[in-house]
Amino acid sequence: METQQEWEKIKELFAAALERESGARDAFLHDACGEDASLREEVQSLLEAHNAVSELWQKPLSHRFAETIEGRSIGPYELTTKLGEGGMGQVWLAQQTAPLERQVALKLIRWGMYDENLLHRFQAERQSLAVMDHPAIAKVFDAGATVEGQPYFVMEYVAGVPITEYCDQKKLRIRERLELFVKVCEGVQHAHQKAIIHRDLKPANILVVEVDGKPMPRIIDFGLAKAIGPETAGESMHTKVGSFVGTPGYMSPEQCDPSAKDVDTRTDVYSLGVVLYVLLAGSMPFDTKGWKDQPFDEMLRRLREEDPLCPSTKVRSGKLDICGGGTGHRTKAACEPAAWRSRLDHDEGG
């Protein structure tokens, strides 16, 4: 094992070699290491690892994941089917083989989304996550890292569909949607009472399964947004200033604002409001398609200062994607627009 002084020398030569063209590195190491073959081997090993990672990053994301995990087991988890892929990484259906056998969902965090302290932060969060026990919240079982150092999280596998899709497929009426949404709120309230914030509530993270023929929402990824966020000493209910994790359109204004200091349980309440809006109006309060082309300050200004249309007005305005073909959410308004608008008007006091 190298001493601290030897390791500093290795790092120094490694950094210096990286500043040179790849074809000139061998000559540099020959001159810099002299007769110390061991020193040269150590630096060369680091350079080879660096080159391998660089080549991996030049490939599409799907190829990177395929090369690192496809056809393999990660610890006691045997990967079987890819369930999805997003900004955070990939989610796989896996078969746990020990200490018990069961199906789980394994989320592999994307390269670049984490630092060396991520697992330590998650371990600190595990105790908080473990105290949550509510039928509307999917459990987080385990966390670890692949041999390449890529973190993963193991969660309860929920074979459900997003709440918006479920309501559309079943053509649920307004009251039925509200009854289902109340169950979601009860799960979020339970987590807030345990001092856990989701930070990324959206239909894709609120799945619905049927238990004895009755719909039951299951909120997934609870607490993971905080686990992958930057570390903050003494953090309890707040995220680190200058960072945010979430999905545009569902994020509260303070969660979008890097300078905000008061990101707390209210950000989940805001996101729940957006989910409810989509369930009732069939589209989001704000059209986020053009946000990426707007200055960041303008996006924040709109979130803070502009009030969205009431759901009934949104339906009446014809801005709802009715009867398919578009990219928006469909609702029962597609089948009974007049009755739907009337009921929304009544509930809104219009």
Do residues 25 and 45 lie in contact, with contact meaning Cβ atoms separated by under 8 Å?
no
Selected catalytic residue, list 200, 221, 257, 268: 200
**Sequence-ordered list of residues with C-beta below 8 angstroms from that of 117, at least 6 positions apart, any chain:** 231
Tokens at 341, concatenated: 């608008």
CB-based contact 228:245 (threshold 8 Å): yes
Q: Give me the long-range contacts of 112-117 (CB less than 8 A, separation at least 24).
A: 113/88, 113/89, 113/228, 114/151, 114/228, 117/231
User: Which residues, in sequence order, are CB contacts of 35 under 8 Å at separation 6+?
Assistant: none
329 to 121, 200, 274: CA distances (angstroms): 36, 19, 13
Please confirm, yes or no, whether 200 is among the known catalytic residues.
yes
Distance CA 326, CA 333 (A): 15
Q: Which active-site residues does the annotation give?
A: 200
